[in-house]
Amino acid sequence: MKIVGVTSCPSGVAHTYMAAEALQNAGEEKGYEVHIETQGAGGADNTLTVEQIADADYVVLTNDTSIRGIQRFKGKKVIELSSTVIIEKSGALMNKLAKM
C-alpha cells in the first residue's frame, strides 16, 4: 500500500514533525510505502511529487490548521485527523487503512 500525507499544526513546530514521524514509522512497520510532507514554521519539507500523489492509495492530512496546496489531492481517498490523534493512534490508523 502507498500512503502520502501532509502534517501541519498551528505553531508549525513540534506536532507537525511528531505526526509525520508517527505516520512514517507506523506505515513502515506494516511494510507500506509512506511519503510525508511537513508544513512547519520554516515552510514545507519533503514536498510530495505529482507521481507520489498519483500512486497513493490514501492521503492522510492533519486538520489542526489549513494545509497549503490541498487541491493536489482532488479525487484521492483523503483522511483528515488531528495531529494529536495521528501521534497517539497511527498504528490503529494503519490497521484501519488495511481493512478499507
Residues annotated catalytic, as ranges: 9
H or E, element range at 2? strand 2-7
Residues whose CB is less than 8 angstroms from the CB of residue 30 and which lie 6 or more positions away in sequence, other chains included: 1, 94, 98
CA angle, 77 then 79 then 42, to 5°: 110
